[in-house]
Amino acid sequence: MNRSGTRRNALVGWLLFLGLCVALGNCAPPATPTALPAPTPDPMDIYIQMVGRYTSLNAILAIGDLSAEDVDRIVRAMVAIEAPPGLEALHEQAVTGWKWVSDGKLLLPGADGRLRAEAYFMMEWGMGLLFDYLERLSQVEY
């Protein structure tokens, strides 16, 4: 009996030891996941987000409601935006369109009939450039 009692005590000791190991193993803090670098945004996506406010269809259609000061702010904002490689000429077209609109808006206050017609022509020419810009931008593959 003495031997079976010793075996039983050894078995119980091993079971307690294994149970303690399992219990302590579950108490360990979980491994922290490694941080993945954020994906690098595409320069074209950044550009479209930056100019979208000024070159969207709604922005172009609202030109008649904008003041000369608002248009001047838009021109300055568009000049400050850097176009991605290959779109410099297209971006310059959008800037030129807004400059035409700005020049037309500046002529309007106190203009006589002929000067007023010239101001509206300038604004419509600028809008035409902006519509063409939108169409050509939608055809760019990136």
pLDDT score of 78: 97
Against a cut of 0.75, is the pTM above it?
A: no
Can you tell me the distance from the alpha carbon of 139 to that of 28, in angstroms, rounded to the nearest whole number?
Answer: 56
In this structure, what token pair is assigned to residue 62? 């609202």
Helices 88-107, 43-55: crossing angle, 10 deg rounding: 20
Type of residue at 56: S
pLDDT score of 1: 47
Q: In a structure prediction context, what are the per-residue pLDDT tens digits for the chain, which is 142 residues long? A: 456 667 667 666 766 676 666 666 665 566 777 778 888 888 899 999 999 999 999 999 999 999 999 999 999 999 999 999 999 999 999 999 999 999 999 998 888 889 999 999 999 999 999 999 999 999 987 7
The residue extents of the domains of the chain are 1-30, 43-138
Can you tell me the distance from the alpha carbon of 24 to that of 140, in angstroms, rounded to the nearest whole number?
Answer: 60
Can you tell me the distance from the alpha carbon of 92 to that of 72, in angstroms, rounded to the nearest whole number?
Answer: 16
